[in-house]
Structure 1
């Protein structure tokens, strides 16, 4: 019963995600590295599939956890300029006010970005304020490994006709 009460706010918020994504298509310039390195500014696009599932968090309802809070696992497969998979966690909260909710997520991406192989972490912050969405997806500083060490950038998500795509503006230090 507790999981079912929590699934309703999560489902309501997930129904709002296409609106968040549709209104969050502002193109971001990837920040340049703050280190004393020359960075290449790049742009990557492609499609992805995502599977969200309620997390098996085994929270005891007697702990007083608010049923408006939810937790989901994220499993993505990226295609295009980014050939990768990701695993992550999403926390969400809904309110009594229709059209107001929020979520945060962290996902670890592992694969190849335009020929550069490694991993990096994406941090999501999504807010729906009385139906007005905002979404920010940013590479966590210094999270890049392998050939993606030094990666910085921002990603936008677009959902059109049920198909998910990404638009990723990023920078990598130039190799010497």
Structure 2
């Protein structure tokens, strides 16, 4: 089955784990907790690696573990993040890690985007084996 999930999430905790100043950039490592609303309902934990430059462009990569429901199907899965900004434009993408789905989400694949405008909004296009 092919599906489309949308909704929002709240960042419920942000912990700075490490920061390192380098010539031209600051590198960081962070642990984030989230609560999801909408077609995804549940919680997640995320580890990200960040880079910020003095002129403002930034980027991050990360991995996230989600636990909850996707359109009412219960389970867990992992997401891989990639994001950057430049000249006021930003993009944030995520991809479901293949074979990471458990429970009723076993076999889940797909990818999506995150938009940080008036909160955090997600879009996830996915494929899930029929029940």
- TM-score above 0.5: yes
Unmatched tracts of structure 1, length 5 or more: 1-39, 60-64
d(CA) in 2 for partners of 1:82 and 1:132?
Answer: 26
Partner of 1:167: 123
Alignment CA distance shift 1:51-1:130 (3 Å): same
d(CA) in 1 for partners of 2:12 and 2:67?
Answer: 16
Cα displacement string for residues 45-95 of structure 1 (whole angstroms, at most 9, x for unaligned residues): 1221113523345x8xxxxx5451111111110011111100111110123
Moved over 2 A (4+): 51-57, 128-135, 158-161
Number of aligned residue pairs: 128
What CA RMSD, in Å, does the superposition of the two structures yield over aligned residues? Answer: 1.9
* Paired residues for 1:17-166 under 5 Å: 40-57=1-18, 65-66=20-21, 68-96=26-54, 98-161=55-118, 163-166=119-122
- TM-score, length-normalised on structure 2? 0.85
Higher strand share: 2
Higher Cα radius of gyration: 1
Unmatched tracts of structure 2, length 5 or more: none
Higher helix share: 1
